[in-house]
Structure 1
Amino acid sequence: MPPITQPADIAPVLPGGPPAAAAPAPAAPTSPDQPVTFTAAELEYDQNRALVVARGNVEAWQGNRVLRAEEFTYDRNTGVATARGNVQLIEADGQVVFADSVVLENQFRDGVLEGLRALLAQNGRLAAAGARRTDGNFFDLSRVVYSSCDPCREDPLAPPVWQLRARTATLDQAGRQARYRDAVVEFGGVPMFWTPYLQHPAGSAPRQSGFLSPTFGITGYLGGFVETPYYWAIDESQELVLRPQIATRQVPNLGLEYRRRFNFGEVEAEGSIGYLNGDSNTERGAAGHIFSRGRFNIDDTWRTGFDFNWATSEDYLRIYRYGARRILNQTVFTEGFWGTDAYARIEGRAFQGLRATDDNSQIPYVLPNIYLDWRSQPDALGGTFTVDTWNFAVFRDQGTDTQRGAVRIGYSLPYTDGVGGLWTLRAQSDLAAYAFTDLSGAPNYSTAANNGSTGTANIRAAIDWRMPFVRSAGEYGHQVIEPRIQLVGGPLTGNQAGVPNEDSIDLEFTDANLFSLNRFSGRDRQEGGTRVDYALRGAWYFPNGGMLEGLAGASYRVQRDGGPFYEGSGLENRASDYVARARVMPTPWLEFLGRGRFDQENGATRFLDLSTSVSFETATTVTGGYLYTPAVPYLTPVRDRNEVAVGVSQRFGHWRFSAYGRYDIDINRPVAISASAAYEDECFLLEARVFKRFAEDPATNNLYPANTVLLFRIGLKTVGDVGFRAI
């Protein structure tokens, strides 16, 4: 019987079942029992041999797996399908396999492919001389080439930046993994690296255990070393990374990272176990660290958590690159949120100083630390009440022990008059009760009563007025001149030497707190008396987004005794220092910002912070800065800080460069320098970084260990990266 030819609008169903109209692949998962449906420009059916031949734009699908070809032959007796000419096999996840010819059986699940080419996720491209497909998921490949690099536009046949060549490979489509045996990594067509086995994700692979990319290096302390991380996917909710490090001059070091997620929270922990052999700068003995945190939701309002951080020394963290930290904290807390109206937190804190000069016996434990605040809705006048309480107990092995209960009540009422003036009435009341021992110890060093109890009360009220005068500058934008005056009144508070000071040691008078009711950051020190704060601000806003702005102001206290301000704070006299801010930004790509404080009598600089940034259209950014701060009694060492800093970054094409440096003018030496260079395109990353610190350990007058770091990183995107570190 001669073959039967059918037109293109007929969509047969094989191996049996009712006819079906041509349609895109359904979203349901593929089942081996589903029929094979196809369309074609021309169809021949030989009833004697049960052979179907389709030609011209053939598209066949089973479930959500699609096959396209120029010619398609299907034997209904054997279930074998053969496709030739521009064969495309499209998987449900979007991955596409191309071939010169394909022979498929077992409902498209098994087959042999010649001239295979695959387009994988994340721009991955794979080619093989031949392949065998089994179980619908596995491709066993021979003479394989893989890369995620785009072909060269000028010469598409030129070797890519990098590619993998392997004698054999397996592509696991279900597990989203590609595994190579006897593989060579080529750069620009030149073999550079050989490995007997290599595995990498092929698309959005599920989590699974396995080795991660290694890091190699050499340091003055460790010698040569290699770190080979291993990732363990314990289950769907937790994972562990083991980072064993083998060095030629030190015993092995083991780092660990653990993460677990719950329906109600998460836990993260990083730690290590090691040993320091000791030298002129470091101690000898067992060493280690742990950085951990946990957050847990109790209900929609409350959550609880912890932070636990501990290490044997800062030197250990620097040497093994676990993150240099001088002080570590341990915290356990519970907190509640009621929208934006109320907040509560109850916690306990402890601290660990890591440097040899730190006296941990004077570092406090805080248990408990209780803070609650509440903000009312606006009242009939538009004002808002706030109430908060901050209570704590501080203990030290040596030094002052303090227990405090404190309450603050505040009220703020804004008002706009008929001519545009902005008025604000503010009031604040503080009540605190203290019990203390050893007030002569750290951090108070007071000559007042050594042990005892006391209470403080203070009330502050202020009327704040500012008038923004605005005028149009036509096509050049608009201008604003805004004078501001605030009158603050309250009782005198004296020097408060008999009150413990735990939260108000740090004081920096700038334009940021010029109009604060209490210029101290905490509540253990209260500013008293009557004063006038005043400032003049001017600004010019340009249509292009740029602006010019300037502010200058000061404060004048009526009484001579207004608070416990230390010499040089800028507030120790009735007339305060002048504070100022200036911003020059003629265009969005050029900005200069300066903030300063200047002596009331002679204009001498008491504080200066200057910064500038320039961003060119050539993707170049230059930043610079200058910082001067006078010596303050609460920082060690007690000396001025006088530094300049400059940084530059440049991008062009796939390249980027950056450099940064800080220099201390007073001691005439650098503080830190760094530089980096990197090349990155769609498939390749090459990066180099160098960083050096010049800080000296006051105990030895030597530079801290691991003060210089040199990092190299080579990344093959979709495959992995390899790092090299030198210290």
Structure 2
Amino acid sequence: MRGLWVALALLLATALPGVAQTRDGRNAAVLVADRVALEGDTRLVAEGNVEAIYRETRLKAARIVYDRSEDRLILDGPIMLIEGETTIILADSGALDADMRNGLLRGARMIMDKRVQLAANRIDRVGGRYTQLYKVAATSCRVCNSATPPIWEIRARRAVHDQQEKQFYFDNAQLRVLDVPILWLPRLRLPDATVERATGFLMPSLSSNSQLGAGVRVPYFIRIGNHRDLTITPFLAANSRTLELRYRQAFRNGDLEINGAFSNDELVADNRAYLFASGAFDLARGFKLQFDIEAVTDKAYLVDYDYSEKDRLDSTLALTRSRRDEYISAGITTYQTLRDGEVNAQIPTIIGDAMYERRYFPGRIGGELRMAYAVYGHRRYSDLDILGRDVARAEADLSWRRGWTLPKGLRLQFEGGVAVDTVRTWQDSTADSSKTQATPRAGLTLRWPLLRQAASGATVVLEPLVMIGWAGGSNSNLPNDESTRVEFDEGNLLSLSRFPAADRRERGLSAAYGFNWARFDPSGGQASLTMGHIVRDETQPDFTRTSGLDGLNSNLLLAGQYRTAGGIALTARTLFDTSFDLTKTEARAAWITPDLGLGASYFWLTEDLAEARPDPVSEWAFDGSYRISRHWTGTANWRYDVSNNRTAEAGLGLQYRNECVEVDLSLSRRFTSSTIVDPSTDLGITVGLRGFSAQGFDNSYTRTCRN
């Protein structure tokens, strides 16, 4: 065998001087065959499982004849020409030059990235860059026999594949659906399956809205460079003329994205527009710059066109740096309200804040020492008393904490510190115009984690816990703008102050107690439960009823999670008052499998005038998807307002998807109405041809051929 390989190598080196092996071996040619023979002085004949390899090209054929006088290869099929990892050409017969860069193949079929196939009477290879196909039919659909046409195909007099630009150019092209011509184009350009971004039209989509009427979107993608692109989408409807834009750019140290639209419709008299922009950049010395801009011309525009469900827009510029023992942040935010009945001039419209926090680990006393400084301010545009209140605040905080492990596994944690706040108020005759106050605090927490191994192999953890805390000072006559909504949950059960901002602090002596329980099964399932309760020596008037923290005794907190290896997940949190009546509850259940996804959510809030809620709020929400068959998937969602006994939203969707086409049908209805939006119904259809792009490919949707 070794002698045969040496003989083949010598024959190749003498017969193919144009591709002889270089010194470093990178351009070496290799020929393997069952039989190799010389015919005269100029012809080398290889037969039987012939395979020739040159650079990134691999050629397989039943028989190859190399004619040295013409410096070409004569091929007998079946022929397979493999170029790199993406292109395969199959043919019946043909002829190529010695380095397989030029020539022709007859009865050929070209396969790109295992997705797109192009059948042609003849394929010409020119200069190693261009592949020309004559009388070509191109599709990404699975073709099982000649009697059954593909779902779609492109037929053309000629197609040229530019390997360098990775583009297909079709002359006199027809788009056929089930062999029925539906579109003719004298010229057509498409990217091959390896291209991620190429200038051209994207697939259009049809929609029908009860307010805007029937319409069509035709997006056009512009590749500005390797790191920038622009998508322009005209949206033409019966009652609207809209131009949608999206610009993206990637930088060495970050990225930028801008989305917007401009509309002229029959819903309002004036032109309408919106702009959303966001960016994030890494700066020197570990700093990060982030910003987002959100603006709209009227309150109903985003909802009418289904651009966003946000009812308050925020534009932010922030500079941050996070290190192991240091945190720095500074930012400014502006708000634009879209809520019905809310006046933008009477909410904090401009908000600025900055913070510096540093921690140390003193060797003599142990533990962790933290120092924090912060400034905050907000401004309302209104000049009215109280409704136009402006506030500025400065804060300095020093704290020390340390933990100890006691006998029997008890964990003891101490926290102590003092905070100094200076607050200045304008345009509020009911509040102090200026106030400085100090708040000393101390807390002691005791935990006792208990571990048990069950007979089933599951690990069970039970952790009783108790905390005693104290905070000095008094609640001055200062406005409450930042801490109007307080959540009592397992995350702040052991906190010394449960207000979300420093404009309010808890005072007096308090005690919190409860337990954490968790179970971890070897199969991957797990469950957890937290119970907590708080008692104190004085009431906190700034806690609302719904917060569960008003009065000397808090509500009873119960929170739990349950998850199985089979995809079932349950999460719930609820608050009970002293009469064991529900104050607040929320729950979410989900079941996720490869073919099924179901979810249900429920929340309930009691009435609370302090939170601008005169009536209880109760709502159910359901969502789901089911893969009906290999190619069909159905989706549904439903939101029901229990308090008002009516449906708020509902929607249905149906998707068909295989290896070459994707069709999305959707129907949705919004039932709610207000002074700025009306109920509406949306019907949408999107058809996408798959294959001529670098989009993700899922083989589970590929059709199979029956014998």
Q: Which amino acid aligns with 2:220?
A: Y
Shift of 1:158: 5.0
Aligned equivalent of 2:220 = 230
Question: Structure 2 matches for 1:668-707, cutoff 5 A?
Answer: 668-697=645-674, 699=675, 703=678, 707=680
Tell me if 1:78 matches 2:62. no
Report if the CA contact (8 A) 2:546-2:584 is conserved: no
Shift of 1:453: 0.9
Shift of 1:162: 4.3
Counterpart Cα distance in 2 of 1:321 and 1:489: 50
Q: Kindly tell me: are residues 410 and 161 of structure 1, through their superposed partners in 2, closer, same or farther at Cα, counting changes over 3 Å?
A: farther
Question: Structure 2 matches for 1:141-180, cutoff 5 A?
Answer: 141-150=133-142, 158-180=148-170
Shift of 1:675: 2.5
Shift of 1:548: 4.8
Tell me if 1:301 matches 2:286. yes
1:277 aligns with one of 250, 263, 266: 266
Shift of 1:245: 2.5
Tell me if 1:473 matches 2:454. yes
Counterpart Cα distance in 2 of 1:306 and 1:77: 69
Q: Tell me the alpha carbon deviations over residues 632-681 of structure 1, each in whole angstroms, 9 at most, x when there is no partner.
A: 44655543211122333323533332322221111111122223222333
Q: Tell me the alpha carbon deviations over residues 210-234 of structure 1, each in whole angstroms, 9 at most, x when there is no partner.
A: 2222223333343333322222222
Counterpart Cα distance in 1 of 2:15 and 2:482: 82
Aligned equivalent of 1:505 = 484
Report if the CA contact (8 A) 1:11-1:19 is conserved: no
Shift of 1:598: 0.9
Shift of 1:156: 9.5
Counterpart Cα distance in 1 of 2:231 and 2:394: 45
Q: Which amino acid aligns with 1:246?
A: L
Report if the CA contact (8 A) 1:11-1:38 is conserved: no
Question: Structure 2 matches for 1:18-167, cutoff 5 A?
Answer: 38-40=31-33, 41-47=35-41, 50-105=42-97, 107-150=99-142, 158-167=148-157
Q: Kindly tell me: are residues 364 and 192 of structure 1, through their superposed partners in 2, closer, same or farther at Cα, counting changes over 3 Å?
A: farther
Tell me if 1:13 matches 2:13. yes
SS at match of 1:13: helix
Shift of 1:683: 3.2
Aligned equivalent of 2:373 = 389
Report if the CA contact (8 A) 1:200-1:718 is conserved: no
1:417 aligns with one of 403, 406, 411: 406
Aligned equivalent of 1:647 = 623
Counterpart Cα distance in 2 of 1:529 and 1:548: 35
Report if the CA contact (8 A) 1:11-1:39 is conserved: no
Q: Kindly tell me: are residues 348 and 132 of structure 1, through their superposed partners in 2, closer, same or farther at Cα, counting changes over 3 Å?
A: same
Q: Tell me the alpha carbon deviations over residues 605-631 of structure 1, each in whole angstroms, 9 at most, x when there is no partner.
A: 111123333456x84343333211123
Shift of 1:454: 0.9
1:457 aligns with one of 435, 438, 459: 438
SS at match of 2:407: coil
Shift of 1:308: 1.8
Shift of 1:532: 1.0
Aligned equivalent of 1:195 = 184
Identical amino acids, percent of aligned pairs? 25
Q: Which amino acid aligns with 2:692?
A: V
Q: Which amino acid aligns with 1:554?
A: H
Q: Kindly tell me: are residues 638 and 411 of structure 1, through their superposed partners in 2, closer, same or farther at Cα, counting changes over 3 Å?
A: farther
Unaligned runs of 5+ in 2: 1-5, 383-387, 695-707
1:448 aligns with one of 423, 427, 431: 431
Q: Which amino acid aligns with 2:200?
A: G
Shift of 1:464: 0.7
Shift of 1:14: 6.8
Aligned equivalent of 2:534 = 555
Shift of 1:562: 4.1
Q: Kindly tell me: are residues 505 and 275 of structure 1, through their superposed partners in 2, closer, same or farther at Cα, counting changes over 3 Å?
A: same
Counterpart Cα distance in 2 of 1:540 and 1:209: 54
Aligned equivalent of 1:403 = 392
Aligned equivalent of 1:335 = 320
Shift of 1:523: 0.7
Tell me if 1:604 matches 2:581. yes
Q: Which amino acid aligns with 1:383?
A: G
1:249 aligns with one of 239, 242, 249: 239
Tell me if 1:311 matches 2:296. yes
Shift of 1:527: 0.4
Counterpart Cα distance in 1 of 2:662 and 2:280: 35
Counterpart Cα distance in 1 of 2:235 and 2:213: 12
Counterpart Cα distance in 2 of 1:510 and 1:206: 46
Tell me if 1:438 matches 2:419. no
Tell me if 1:218 matches 2:218. no
Tell me if 1:361 matches 2:341. no
Aligned equivalent of 1:32 = none
Counterpart Cα distance in 1 of 2:693 and 2:666: 19
2:467 aligns with one of 486, 490, 514: 486
Question: Structure 2 matches for 1:613-624, cutoff 5 A?
Answer: 613-615=590-592, 619-624=595-600
2:573 aligns with one of 585, 595, 612: 595
Q: Tell me the alpha carbon deviations over residues 665-705 of structure 1, each in whole angstroms, 9 at most, x when there is no partner.
A: 111111222232223333332222333333321x26x635x
Q: Kindly tell me: are residues 355 and 581 of structure 1, through their superposed partners in 2, closer, same or farther at Cα, counting changes over 3 Å?
A: closer
Q: Kindly tell me: are residues 585 and 99 of structure 1, through their superposed partners in 2, closer, same or farther at Cα, counting changes over 3 Å?
A: closer
RMSD between superposed Cα atoms in Å: 3.2
Shift of 1:597: 0.8
Superposition TM-score, scaled by structure 1 size: 0.85
Q: Kindly tell me: are residues 100 and 485 of structure 1, through their superposed partners in 2, closer, same or farther at Cα, counting changes over 3 Å?
A: same
Q: Kindly tell me: are residues 26 and 681 of structure 1, through their superposed partners in 2, closer, same or farther at Cα, counting changes over 3 Å?
A: farther
SS at match of 2:409: coil
Counterpart Cα distance in 2 of 1:367 and 1:562: 27
Q: Which amino acid aligns with 1:645?
A: A
Superposition TM-score, scaled by structure 2 size: 0.87
Counterpart Cα distance in 2 of 1:378 and 1:89: 71
Shift of 1:26: 6.8
Shift of 1:27: 5.9
Q: Kindly tell me: are residues 102 and 22 of structure 1, through their superposed partners in 2, closer, same or farther at Cα, counting changes over 3 Å?
A: farther
Counterpart Cα distance in 2 of 1:19 and 1:622: 62
Q: Which amino acid aligns with 2:216?
A: V
Q: Kindly tell me: are residues 594 and 17 of structure 1, through their superposed partners in 2, closer, same or farther at Cα, counting changes over 3 Å?
A: closer
Q: Which amino acid aligns with 2:198?
A: Q
Shift of 1:380: 5.7
Q: Kindly tell me: are residues 120 and 401 of structure 1, through their superposed partners in 2, closer, same or farther at Cα, counting changes over 3 Å?
A: same
Report if the CA contact (8 A) 1:528-1:563 is conserved: no
Shift of 1:429: 2.4
Q: Kindly tell me: are residues 334 and 545 of structure 1, through their superposed partners in 2, closer, same or farther at Cα, counting changes over 3 Å?
A: closer
Aligned equivalent of 1:711 = 684
Q: Kindly tell me: are residues 665 and 319 of structure 1, through their superposed partners in 2, closer, same or farther at Cα, counting changes over 3 Å?
A: closer
Q: Kindly tell me: are residues 322 and 299 of structure 1, through their superposed partners in 2, closer, same or farther at Cα, counting changes over 3 Å?
A: same
Q: Which amino acid aligns with 1:227?
A: R
Report if the CA contact (8 A) 2:203-2:687 is conserved: no
Counterpart Cα distance in 1 of 2:31 and 2:39: 13
Q: Kindly tell me: are residues 289 and 118 of structure 1, through their superposed partners in 2, closer, same or farther at Cα, counting changes over 3 Å?
A: same
Counterpart Cα distance in 1 of 2:577 and 2:415: 29
Q: Which amino acid aligns with 1:646?
A: F
Unaligned runs of 5+ in 1: 1-5, 29-34, 441-446, 722-727
Aligned equivalent of 1:3 = none
Q: Kindly tell me: are residues 460 and 134 of structure 1, through their superposed partners in 2, closer, same or farther at Cα, counting changes over 3 Å?
A: same
SS at match of 1:572: coil
How many residue pairs match? The answer is: 681
Counterpart Cα distance in 2 of 1:396 and 1:575: 36
SS at match of 1:703: coil
Q: Kindly tell me: are residues 553 and 248 of structure 1, through their superposed partners in 2, closer, same or farther at Cα, counting changes over 3 Å?
A: closer
Shift of 1:587: 6.3
Q: Which amino acid aligns with 1:213?
A: M
